[in-house]
Amino acid sequence: MISFTPRTLVTGSMLRNFIDKHVSIHVNVETEVDRGASVIKAKSSDDQDVTIELSEPLNSPVKGWIEVIGIPTSANTIRNKEIIIFPDEPTNEPYNKSAHVQVVTFFNNCKDIYKIE
């Protein structure tokens, strides 16, 4: 059975509030990072600089939007456990940063959205 660690979806400016907790963050790697790298520099969906400390060196180059699952160690650094690489964007539907920030903000401000009273 695959185990799942609960995590909070965050933006770059929220990292400081989740130090030492499990999070998921979407970032854009603007400059391709080569195989073997141990650190990735990226920008979050809310345009914050984020440094990702990799748990193991990359097996292949990375560029574009990725999801990083890990634990923040500072206001702008996250120690990764897993990276999910998004497929190349279709030309008619680019990644919508504004919508992502709105969804993350909503989920972080409405903790019990599924609670029935």
CATH number at residue 64: 2.40.50.140
| Domain boundaries, position 66 | 8-109
Mean pLDDT of 57-82: 93
Q: Which pLDDT score, from 0 to 100, does residue 86 have?
A: 85
How many domains does one find in the chain? 1
Assigned domain for 1 exists: no
From CA 104, how far away is CA 95, in angstroms rounded?
15
Give the burial class of 68: count Cβ atoms within 10 A of its Cβ; 0-12 exposed, 13-18 middle, 19 or more buried: buried
Its pTM stands at 0.86
Assigned domain for 2 exists: no
Assigned domain for 114 exists: no
Assigned domain for 3 exists: no
Assigned domain for 53 exists: yes
Q: Which H or E run includes 95?
A: none
| Residue of 5 and 1 predicted with greater confidence | 5
Q: Which pLDDT score, from 0 to 100, does residue 26 have?
A: 97
Assigned domain for 41 exists: yes
Percent of the chain with pLDDT over 90: 62
Assigned domain for 20 exists: yes
Q: Which pLDDT score, from 0 to 100, does residue 87 have?
A: 79
